[in-house]
Chains A and B, each alone.
Chain A
Amino acid sequence: MRGRSILTAAFLLPVMWADGFAQGREVRGTVTRNGRALANVAVSVVPVDTAVPGSVDTVEIDQRELRFVPNIVAVGVGGSVMFRNSDPYLHNVYSPTGAQFTLGTYARGDTRLHRFETPGRYVVLCNVHPEMVAYVFVVSSPYHAITDSDGRFTVAGLPAGGYLVQVWLARGPPFEQIVSAAQVRNDRLRIEIGSDTGRPQ
């Protein structure tokens, strides 16, 4: 039985290796602060040994039941966000931060698209309902993810080499950490951010 398993593994390993090259590398990790998992933070992985391709991705944020859903997204520079209003009420979309924009006030079923050209953190508000907030993290890499409830993230399709991992919170400058190719290959990354990261300035 054991011999059969070894045989199977020996057969599959080259296949997985080749597949890994075709799909690119994968970075998996967990973001913590003071040892506690951080959910809903944006993580971007910037290759440091190769040029970073541009981004054309479009994500959607819905305005539903007086909330932005999801209320945290990440897009690469040049990426877009489609803002949809699914509520039976007027909503508005505007950002007072960074390269400010306003998409007007519109009714149910309408959508507005905004393309983000400048990296940074964008606070997105609804002028009609002050309790609504979303965060759009525009990162200088098309490789990004949002942490799950356990603080875990997975970014796939990366080129080989080392990386700069950035962790973006709702406030403050991003936390940055250089990780080597060996670290990425061997372990799930554990990114412990400083206790001041993301705190009010």
Chain B
Amino acid sequence: MIVPTLLMLAVAVAGDDPADANHNRIPAFARRYRTSCSTCHTAAPKLNVMGEAFRLNGYRFPENDALLRREESVPLGVEEWRDQWPRAIWPAELPGTVPFALRALLDAEITKDETSPAAVNLRFPEEIYLLAGATLGGGIGVFLETEWEREDGLDVKQAKVKFQDVIGLLPDRSLNLWAGMQNLYLFTFADRQIDRAGRLSFRWQTYRPADIPLVAPAGGVPTVSENVFRLRDTQPTIEANGILGGRFFYGVGVGQGTRALRDDNRRKDVYYKVRYKFGGLRLDGRPPTDADDMSSRGGQLLDRSLSIEQFGYFGAQPVVGGGDDSHRAFGVNARLLFRSLDVGVGFVWGRHENPWGTDVSGSLDYSSIFAKAELLTFPWLIGSLKVERFRAVLDDGLTSGGYLMPANESRVMPGVIALLRQNVRLVVEGELFAEHAVTEAVSQSAPNAIWIRLDLAF
């Protein structure tokens, strides 16, 4: 009953005249350029290769951006003032209209365990986003993401400014500076914001030591870490990045390590990320030399490429006793785009040196091997399969002392993503556990679930 209801709702919202569907579309960037979602998205928010080039270029199309804009900007001083600097203020521009957009997520969760009947939770709405994106002229781009969640209320997830090409003498796009509350995008592959066709994230992105208590030996009191750091969370960061040779991307950043206004320790977190793309559209948005690397189908731009990404993150979080839990993580992935097929595999390893502070002395390693395959069956229909095997391993001292950290899990996430319209996405995704140590530790069945999500942007 739910699926037909959601389908009917989506149809009612989006209208039924295909001629009208070409106008007044979706969020801020689409309005500015009067272009479709699929110019930049495979299934929003999942970016296609052009969308990724647009993002890396500070929310501008890689070439002739001004010519493509359908919306008149408001000049803050004419271009001739540039020649007067430093005797005058450098000119800028404002978007012609306030560049806001809304996104609403409606979720239905269906769970079933071995001991009770199926439960259906209608999370209507689950989340609502207020998004804004604009360029201010002179290579400055801004992005705002405010999220309202049923459980956590209102929060500014991202508020960042991108200074592109900060040193004019260097080659184009080779050195940019991004600052603000921002997503680190350690991997673009499977990132929850720019490469998520489905709903579910991988555990390595959401894992934090505080989630699962350390089980003490012989029925002792479990110990809970105070470290709530997650690799996927946004945080105040200053990042330098750039594209070299059109195909190599680098980024290095310094972050607060926490979303709080005041840093919670005296150490700043640091990270790096690199990516190389073989074939396909270049990272700077320029076409490849081999014309066969690019194709298109039913409104979707398709790529033929292989990308390799690697990141490292080094941080510290305060824990019980006044000390820090030094932690680090490394990851590598390979991703193949072959026309309608998007497939990749990755590995992430991390270590927390002291997650329980003075409560329990010892370290914790975790690792995740994960893979994702998405097939564009039709230009509006994606079949998706994700798998992950997550492991958390205590150091030898804790293990021999009888401590236990039941964080291991293995799961399969099959899904179907349908674009009911360019800006209306329906996701049906299952979460099936082959192993779920936390629930198994208390003799319960794994929390298998089916998620149905309706995602609207306008």
Contact = CB atoms under 8 A, between A and B. Distances in A.
Nearest to A107: B287
B291 A106 contact: yes
A92 B379 CA distance: 15
A127 interface: yes
Given A88-B62, A88-B64, A105 B295 contact: yes
Nearest to B298: A127
B146 interface: no
Interface stretch (B31-39, B89-97, B257-265): B31-39
A90 B299 contact: no
Main secondary structure of the interface of A (DSSP, over half): loop
Given A107-B287, A130-B36, A87 B64 contact: yes
Contact of B301 (A87, A88, A104, A128): A128
Given A66-B33, A128-B39, A129-B36, A89 B50 contact: yes
Contact of B296 (A65, A107, A128): A128
B174 interface: no
B68 A66 contact: yes
B135 interface: no
Interface string A69-106: 00000000000000000011110100000000000111
Interface string B285-321: 1010001001111111100000000000000000000
A65 B294 contact: no
B376 to A, nearest CB: 12
B19 interface: yes
B63 interface: yes
B287 A66 contact: no
A132 to B, nearest CB: 9
B433 interface: no
B67 interface: yes
A105 B61 contact: no
A105 B293 CA distance: 10
A92 B50 CA distance: 14
Contact of B294 (A87, A105, A129, A200): A105
Given A66-B68, A128-B301, A90 B296 contact: yes
Given A90-B294, A90-B296, A107-B287, A131 B67 contact: no
Contacts of A89: 50, 61, 63, 285
Contact of B35 (A66, A88, A92, A133): A66
Contact of B295 (A87, A104, A125): A104
Nearest to B21: A130
Interface string A32-67: 000000000000000000000000000000000110
Contact of B297 (A90, A107, A127, A129): A127
A88 B39 CA distance: 14
B422 interface: yes
Given A107-B291, A127-B296, A90 B301 contact: yes
A63 to B, nearest CB: 12
Interface in B6-62: 17, 19, 22, 33-36, 38-39, 50, 61-62
Contact of A129 (B19, B39, B287, B291): B39
Contacts of A92: 295-296
Nearest to A64: B67
User: Shortest 6 CB-CB distances between A and B: which pairs?
Assistant: A127-B296, A88-B63, A130-B299, A107-B287, A130-B36, A92-B296
Given A92-B296, A105-B291, A128-B39, 20 more contacts: A65-B67, A66-B34, A87-B64, A88-B63, A89-B50, A89-B63, A90-B287, A105-B296, A107-B287, A107-B291, A125-B299, A127-B300, A128-B50, A128-B301, A129-B299, A130-B22, A130-B38, A130-B39, A130-B299, A131-B36
5 contacts: A66-B35, A104-B295, A125-B299, A127-B301, A128-B296
Interface of B: 17, 19, 22, 33-36, 38-39, 50, 61-64, 67-68, 281, 285, 287, 291, 294-301, 422
